[in-house]
Amino acid sequence: MRPLAPSAARALAAVVGPEHLLTDPAVTAGHAVDWTGRFRGATPAVVRPGSIGEVAAIVAVAREEGLALVPQGGNTGLVGGSVPLAGEVVVSTARLAGVTAVDPDAGLLTAGAGTTIAAVHAAARAAGWAYGVDWAARDSATVGGSIATNGGGLHVVRHGPTRAQVLGVQAVWGSGAPLDDLGRLEKDATGYDLSGLLCGSEGTLGLVTAARLRLVPHLPERALAALAFASMADAVVAVGALRRGLPGLEAAEAYRAAEADLVAGHLGVAPALAPPPPVTVLVEAAGHDDPVDELAAAVAGLDGVVDAVVATDGPRRAALWRHRESLTEAIATLGPHHKLDVSLPAPALAAFAEEVPARVAEVAPAARTWLFGHLGDGNLHVNVSGVDPDDHAVDDAVLALVLDRGGSISAEHGVGTAKRAWLARQRGSDAVAAMAAVKAALDPDGVMNPHVLL
């Protein structure tokens, strides 16, 4: 890795102040490795702008000095997109944090890019609303990162992914030009959706500095059931029936017996259903009125449920959710691992889940496959432990199977560096060429995350 040229260091320090240009390797090292530990790089500097003007000035310095930039929010991304793998300068959004406005009548909230998802939830609640996107990394993952990855999470089945929550974005393109869509209204048919373009852009087009987000009604009453199924096929059919017949459906999350045992061991508690069935599905319903009867009636009408527990009070619901939300952490205790976040058409999902461990074993006999995910969205997380971080054979085997079954190689984590080689096979060369043309127009010198996505 090349150190910063003195002229670049002087220019960046002049923009943000010397205290926000971090060059001490002991400090920058934490910004150069991803959450899984699979992707490790190095950076000559981490720069922390405090305003959109400073971001624009950093982009100008980068263009002038020939630097590449990696935007970084909470660094919880799971596809290696947030770390400087080729010596890029990291632009941290830590100082662009804070909820700046809440419109309780319109149900809209404006927040800086570095605001955590948990802080958005808290501000929404204080205004009598809720935010529709949530996942276990809520205390670290940021508004900017969630937009850049089009993050999904636990409630997509009800509210859609991050893209569906974004009304407008404020950003600086790689060209240095600003985008200010924060004042856009719900109904607005004036041309291209430039804010939407940043959803799923993974830091390759520009740096999001703030966003105006839609809120959803706060539903105070909740009930959660852990349902046991003999097979993934039975679980898929049941979740389809719940999506049709349970209006309050808020989440439908699945994991198998192996993951149930792993997470219970990690937490030092008994599994949610003991002994763990082949497949556990957590089903949450929410409403203004207690949804427990509605949930019980819907579950009673399902085929294939072999056991069930229901939690209505907060502590028991939280205890059940811990099993699902701690899976990522439990798998991480096994060491650096490969994470393959994929989605499948509903008719292909169960067969894929049955087949994928065998496909992994063919190319990596010593590896272990862990499977869980957002069953309501057809989204499975295939995690593989016991393989070298740089060994791509497992990724290739899993992603080839996904494409063969009509699925998507990335459901919610993005493409990053991990799946870059697969983008054209998924989207086709015409679509990738169109993406490259958009990138060339908005980031003409290729300063924004040049080793990610395209």
Contacts to ligand MLT by CB under 6 A:
135-136, 327-328, 339, 341, 381
Helices (H), 268-345: 292-300, 314-325, 327-332
**H or E element that contains 179:** strand 178-180
Helices (H), 115-246: 117-126, 143-149, 156-159, 194-198, 232-245
- Any contact of residue 88 with ligand FAD (CB under 6 A)? no
**H or E element that contains 380:** strand 379-385
Residue 196's nearest CA partner among 411, 437, 440, 438 is 438
Q: In terms of CB distance, is 107 or 161 closer to ligand FAD?
A: 161
Please state the length of the chain.
Answer: 454
Report the nearest approach of ligand MLT to the CB of residue 93 (Å): 21
User: Taking CB positions, which residue lies at the least distance from ligand MLT?
Assistant: 328
The neighbour count for residue 20, using CB atoms within 10 Å, is 18
How far out from the chain centre does Cα 1 lie? 29
- Any contact of residue 144 with ligand FAD (CB under 6 A)? yes
Report the nearest approach of ligand MLT to the CB of residue 19 (Å): 34
Window 303-332: residues binding ligand FAD (CB under 6 A): 328
Q: In terms of CB distance, is 81 or 248 closer to ligand FAD?
A: 81
Report the nearest approach of ligand FAD to the CB of residue 163 (Å): 11
Contacts of 388 (CB under 8 A, 6+ apart): none
In the sheet that holds 338-343, the strands lie side by side as 305-311, 221-229, 279-287, 249-256, 368-374, 379-385, 338-343
CA angle (420 as vertex; 200, 178 as ends), nearest 5: 35
Report the nearest approach of ligand FAD to the CB of residue 307 (Å): 26
| 43, 110, 115, 142: residue in contact with ligand FAD (rule CB under 6 A) | 142
Tokens of 215: 């809120």
Contact partner, 74, from ligand FAD, ligand MLT, none, Cβ < 5-8 Å per class: ligand FAD
| 41, 49, 77, 287: residue in contact with ligand FAD (rule CB under 6 A) | 77
Window 151-170: residues binding ligand FAD (CB under 6 A): 151-153
Contact partner, 81, from ligand MLT, ligand FAD, none, Cβ < 5-8 Å per class: ligand FAD
- Any contact of residue 70 with ligand FAD (CB under 6 A)? yes
Residues that bind ligand FAD (CB under 6 A): 35, 70-78, 81-82, 93, 113, 135-137, 140-142, 144-146, 148-149, 151-153, 202-203, 207-208, 328, 412-413, 449, 452
